[in-house]
Amino acid sequence: MDLFENINHPADAAHKTDLEKKHYPTVEAPGSVKSWEPFDVTVTVGKELAHPNEGGHFIQWVELFYNDVLICRTELTPTIYEMPVRMRLKIGQSCTLKARTRCNLHGIWEGSVDLNVE
C-alpha cells in the first residue's frame, strides 16, 4: 500500500492498526453550537498512540475544512510544536468539520466530526 497515493483513513475505525492510531487526526468540537457564536476545535494526531515529532518523522501541517472548503492551515515544525492544534471558529450552518494532516513519511490522513448549528 502506497500511503502517498490517496487520503488515508482507518480500514476499520473500531480496530485501528498502530500505524492508523499514530496518524489518524482526531477532531474534537462541541456536538452542537449556536449560530455565529465562537467555539473551539481541537485536532490531535496520535491521540491513541503518540506520533513521533523528530527531524526524520513528524507532522508537517494540519488543515481544517468546513465540509469541503479549506478554512485553516497550520504549518508545523519538527521538535518544536506539540499536539494538539487548536482553532477558534464561528459558523452559521451545520456541517462536517474535516481535518487533514500530512506526515512526512506516511502521507495525508483525514478525520472528521459532524457539527450541529442551532
The domain total for the chain is 1
**Is the residue at 88 inside a domain?**
yes
Burial of 28 (0-12, 13-18, 19+ CB in 10 A): middle
Q: Residue 21 belongs to what H/E stretch? A: helix 18-23
- Report pTM: 0.93
Specify the length of the chain in residues.
118
Residue 32 pLDDT greater than 90, yes or no:
yes
**Is the residue at 2 inside a domain?**
no
Q: Residue 90's domain is classified under what CATH number?
A: 2.60.40.730
**Is the residue at 4 inside a domain?**
no
**100 neighbors 25 (Cβ within 8 angstroms):** yes
**Is the residue at 22 inside a domain?**
yes
pLDDT at position 81 is 87
pLDDT at position 90 is 96
Q: Report the 10 Å Cβ neighbour count for 52.
A: 15
Domain that holds residue 91: 18-117
Residue 1 pLDDT greater than 70, yes or no:
no
State residue 104 phi and psi, 5-degree precision.
-65, -20
Reduce the DSSP state of residue 5 to 3 states and report it: coil
